[in-house]
Structure 1
């Protein structure tokens, strides 16, 4: 799963930090503030409520969060969770006869009678596992003509997997080396939570000591030692360990937990009703961005003020399976969602066709899908990020928005350093850096990612559909794209993932179809003129 992660930096053997902490956003709730009045590049949500929506009636809209799980009992979410009133909780009966027993707040397509899937492999790993059996005795010399293309694809995929596994092992080794050196310096300092001053006063003995002192002097300008250690060291070790043990391990397969036929992509009725699952961090954060309770004086304020969050668990800590993605879309559509947020993506696809059909189904039922563009800093016009609409009809594309992530400052840093982009594949950008939102335990945290930008747009879509319920999904997309704040300056980004990758300057307008950042105030003003209007071709 292409999730936003707390840890995104690599501390390699040379102690080079490849992706330093992003500076804290200037203000909490900044994604909902206004560039002109608040000096941060938010989307003007609060301004829209104050000037355009005050006293205006709205209709409740269901927004599905198709993700890794949502904590439905969170203090800032419990009032706005979708409740299936046709089901009697806990009776073990499919009261509404939709095929899903006790689906009170949604459904979990990666669970079963034995529990729920947490870690998963990457799609790449699953493809290699499948094809290494198929081509066990195949060589370039004996491959049949009909299998040549598939065999070539397998060799590329196997090489990619080996490369990623090698990098993960090297990064884990480097990070553990950095951790050992840092722990030794902290022990010499004699404090468990040393300050920048403590590191400045430290007298290094070895070259490693000096390098640690240099790195920490810079990092502690941005936050506390405890935060740095947790988010960069502890989370980093966990991230690469999970990659090696689960994501990139061809021997790991947790699917027996679900109990379905994993090779039957037409199967629909499986799973359980545990919509939180073992790790609801990501989905809970996404849900809060969309619609955290704006009336309870607790925590944060979501973008939309009259939507119900439907939780559809279809993505693990690893890559989602196409079968689960497709079923998650269909479940959301069939149970009344008008907007579906999908903050996930992957580099390979097992069965794109089954997802395509689900996308078409959503479009035929007037449901808008909002998808995160991905966090690899890649041009997805040229490199695949699935799902994508490269082979879909215009009607489906008109009901699907892909979102890149932007920062809080209207300068050369506006494009989030990690955000994917694409002049034909990404529709808009939205705030996705240091977004403060809900996490399990009725807590709150800042996270980065296009995973955070997508629900900003899904919240806006829900807001528009709530106040202007006669508008179609395609009209809502058109309104959002047309009403962006255009950006007429260049932005910087690193061309490549290597520490020494060159920085280039490009027009922000070249990074997406719209060339701008979504604007709720402009969108709602435009929506008021749209009822009864047809789509512009």
Structure 2
């Protein structure tokens, strides 16, 4: 993620300093670091292993269903296939809606971005593109002096903001694509002159660059290769090229709309419920598979990684394409999860704008009313979400945008690294004194990938499932607690961060207490949470006698 951002400011503008990513590249954390203990292991994990060894031995637990609303999950992964939720009322592969819930053969969950014909949405727009296309016919030729009603005036101001935001994003994507293409072009030329296909750092040190650009390419790549290897650096470059190319071709393409042919629903009807298919994997299951592993990868099979929770079933809801998720699909996924027994919902996605926030708000209210805990990633823009929207969120808004209440059973999660220093909060993580509840490990998190592979990823998308896993762990061993009680236990048991940490605000770097950029002022801790859960349970038992 941070490497891709670097590509915006390199190649064509080599004179500018590169952005840096604290705790992300110069060294590797310990294996399984997000489950380790700060005091015992010297790494700022959430003390999961300590909790299992000291607090949970011999205790019985109840299976908890966790819904993962994401881009798809490889249900056959060696570390996940044992923990996939199975719909007990559905007979696999018979083409019949056995449980009569409207979804045929929904054995492990449902895909709301596919069609009954078997087609699937892979790429989609950003919401800013959809909203521009929606408003452009009415406001493209409008002026500030155009007579509008109060509602139209507000909509016109939104349209102008959307266009400005869109143009900035498109310019960045085009620049990133140009820069990455340029780096790869010159790098390939250097390799030809070297006569190497897999050069080492010594080869680059010995190479004498020519012209004006080659020295800058060498200057850029050498520190990156020192941190990893040429092969990994090359893969990151190619990932960057794919990222920016996808943005230009799909995410920010005003002419691109995959919905009609790939889903076939009536998109104008936000209340439509029955559409999609049972393909929970889809064309790209990397993100969702990684998220699922953090929550629930089997802890006892000596394979791969260890998830946070040990008695969980993962319900897969394919909702998030390569692009922005759509509100209708998110709302339907939440309702499906609730109706089919999920007690926790992980949502590692978000966007700056909403097409129909009301339909999502109503689904969130429904989940809260059914004692379901929603865990959501705060976002990766390094921004204050009290000032910059990141939706969905816990705030219920009316048609004018005025807040009309909040979801109590909602946890908003920022990302932290493994070192207990001023760089603890990940440089990419959003934050907010009232909008972000807790921080959790989200840098270099190793987890499951399709085809029984494993990979490290960064993001609040990784931090959110750490917290969802912790919530599942608590609900598993203390099933009597409500969703709101579980949230309170998590919030009140964080490891408080004593030192100030770096954040980016209004273009400059500042050091602030974590208590100013989150509600809890700390990083979640499984050991502390289970101690508090036991104390809370004992107190409740005494009072009931």
TM-score category by the smaller chain?
over 0.9
Distance 2:175 2:345 in 1: 38
Distance 2:251 2:234 in 1: 24
- Asked if the contact 1:375–1:420 (Cα under 8 Å) also holds between the matched residues in 2, the reply is yes
1:164 match: 169
1:206 match: 211
Distance 2:140 2:68 in 1: 40
Which structure 1 residue ranges, 5 or more long, are not aligned?
A: none
Which among 229, 238, 259 is matched to residue 242 of structure 2? 238
Give CA deviations for 1:60-107 in whole Å, capped at 9, x if unaligned: 000000000010000000000000121111111110011111000000
Matched, 1:252 2:256: yes
1:408 match: 418
Q: Residue 175 and residue 31 in structure 1: after superposition, are their counterparts in 2 closer, same or farther (change >3 A)?
A: same
Distance 1:135 1:532 in 2: 62
CA RMSD of aligned residues (A): 1.8
Distance 1:462 1:423 in 2: 25
Which among 30, 33, 38 is matched to residue 30 of structure 1? 33
Aligned length: 526
2:6 match: 9
Q: Which has the higher mean CA deviation after the structures are superposed, 427-436 or 198-207?
A: 198-207
Distance 2:459 2:385 in 1: 16
Report the CA distance between 1:466 and its aligned residue.
Answer: 0.3
Matched, 1:106 2:109: yes
Distance 2:509 2:406 in 1: 36
Matched, 1:350 2:349: no
Matched, 1:71 2:74: yes
Q: Residue 164 and residue 317 in structure 1: after superposition, are their counterparts in 2 closer, same or farther (change >3 A)?
A: same
2:146 match: 142
Which among 384, 390, 394 is matched to residue 389 of structure 1? 394
Secondary structure of 1:341's counterpart equals strand
2:504 match: 494
- Asked if the contact 2:118–2:277 (Cα under 8 Å) also holds between the matched residues in 1, the reply is no
> After superposition, where does 1:289-308 map in structure 2 within 5 Å?
289-308=294-313
Report the CA distance between 1:342 and its aligned residue.
Answer: 0.1
Secondary structure of 2:323's counterpart equals coil
Secondary structure of 1:56's counterpart equals coil
Report the CA distance between 1:397 and its aligned residue.
Answer: 2.8
- Asked if the contact 2:44–2:419 (Cα under 8 Å) also holds between the matched residues in 1, the reply is yes
Which among 450, 453, 458 is matched to residue 448 of structure 1? 458
So what's the TM-score if we normalise by structure 1? 0.95
Q: Residue 472 and residue 395 in structure 1: after superposition, are their counterparts in 2 closer, same or farther (change >3 A)?
A: farther
- Asked if the contact 1:10–1:19 (Cα under 8 Å) also holds between the matched residues in 2, the reply is no
2:59 match: 56
2:187 match: 182
Q: Which has the higher mean CA deviation after the structures are superposed, 345-354 or 134-143?
A: 134-143
- Asked if the contact 2:383–2:504 (Cα under 8 Å) also holds between the matched residues in 1, the reply is no
2:533 match: 527
Which among 430, 434, 450 is matched to residue 424 of structure 1? 434
2:543 match: none
Which structure 2 residue ranges, 5 or more long, are not aligned?
A: 398-402, 541-545
Q: Residue 196 and residue 502 in structure 1: after superposition, are their counterparts in 2 closer, same or farther (change >3 A)?
A: farther
Distance 1:321 1:395 in 2: 23
- Asked if the contact 1:6–1:448 (Cα under 8 Å) also holds between the matched residues in 2, the reply is no
Report the CA distance between 1:135 and its aligned residue.
Answer: 2.8
Report the CA distance between 1:203 and its aligned residue.
Answer: 1.3
Secondary structure of 2:6's counterpart equals coil
Distance 1:269 1:349 in 2: 22
Secondary structure of 2:396's counterpart equals coil
Q: Residue 143 and residue 245 in structure 1: after superposition, are their counterparts in 2 closer, same or farther (change >3 A)?
A: farther
So what's the TM-score if we normalise by structure 2? 0.93
1:130 match: 134
- Asked if the contact 1:398–1:474 (Cα under 8 Å) also holds between the matched residues in 2, the reply is yes
Report the CA distance between 1:197 and its aligned residue.
Answer: 1.1
- Asked if the contact 1:427–1:513 (Cα under 8 Å) also holds between the matched residues in 2, the reply is yes
1:115 match: 119
1:464 match: 474
2:19 match: 18
